Amino acid sequence: MSSPHQLLAIARAELGAHELPPGSNVTKYGKAYGLSPAPWCAQFACAWVWKRADLPIPRDADSPSHGWASVQHFLNSGHRHGWVLPGGRTAHARPGDYVCFEWDKDVWADHVGIVVAVSPAGRLTTIEGNSAGPRGYDAVAYHHRSRRSVAAFVRPPYTQHGTSPASDTPKHMAHSSSGKRRTAAHPVLPRGVVLMDGSPHHDLVAVYQHRMLQRGWTPIGRVDGVFGRRTEAVTRAFQKRMRLDVDGQVGTETWTAAFATKPASKAA
């Protein structure tokens, strides 16, 4: 039996869990999923919590035995199964719903959290992983979010309804947030991760594809999180242009060049 109350209790029990070491993207959620190091907001909410709340995992999940490691793939499944609430960012959300955020205003959802409370003005209190916690490093923590960057709300297929009251949120645990992600010089590829044909790091592949489109490498096609022939061909051409080792894979050197170099490195 699954219910919002049960799911929120599972999520609350994880408050304070964080990367070890901080900044590494190494978590127990990634290890349980089988993909670590990796961005882990979806691994926490859409795999660890979802599975332990006895929610069904459909065959189109990233892992039919664990759930989702990609926020956009979770949202895609939500659309296919009728879990996405109508109304977009203005939807009538309630505790126990999932909220997907899109920071970059592209076609790929970037982050996910679980709604704990909704204020009369519509602001959200959420539990999220892989976002700045009270001590400054990424952890499972409460956040206060506006709806400006909301891509969609997803209501899981609970078998029971009813939630714990919003006042259960301990105020001293709350992490104040503007609703935007922390700014950095550029996104960081987790240590040891290499993107290549068939990579399971779909959200990282999407970030890379989006960046290459920004740089003018339009042959990469649309942002779809799939490291296929087009992405490999563009990567090889970019590596040749930047005088890097040409192997068609995106490791730290290629990733850094894609994000840190000046516009002169754009495709001709």
Comparing C-alpha atoms, which of 133, 102, 125, 117 is closest to residue 27?
133
Domain boundaries, given as residue ranges, for the chain? 4-175, 202-265
At 146-164, the pLDDT tens digits run 999 999 999 999 999 765 5
At 194-224, the pLDDT tens digits run 999 999 999 999 999 999 999 999 999 999 9
- Angle at which helices 202-214 and 252-260 cross, to 10°: 40
What is the rounded distance in angstroms from the CA atom of residue 20 to the CA atom of residue 191? 13
Q: Quick one: pLDDT at residue 179?
A: 45
Q: Quick one: pLDDT at residue 164?
A: 54
In order, the DSSP letters of 129-194 are EEEE-TTSSEEEEEEEE-STTEEEEE----SS-----GGGS-GGGEE---SSPPP-SS--PPTT--
Assigned CATH class of 4-175: alpha beta
Q: Quick one: pLDDT at residue 103?
A: 86
Residues of the chain short of pLDDT 50, as ranges, are: 166-167, 171-172, 174-175, 177-180, 182-183
- Report the b/e string of 104-141 with b at 16+ CB within 10 A: bebebbbbbbbbbbbeeeeebbbbbbbbbbeeeebbbb
Distances, alpha carbon 86 to alpha carbons 153, 160, 183, 192, 201, in Å: 8, 21, 31, 40, 29
What is the rounded distance in angstroms from the CA atom of residue 30 to the CA atom of residue 42? 10
CA atoms within 13 A on the CB side of 199: 27
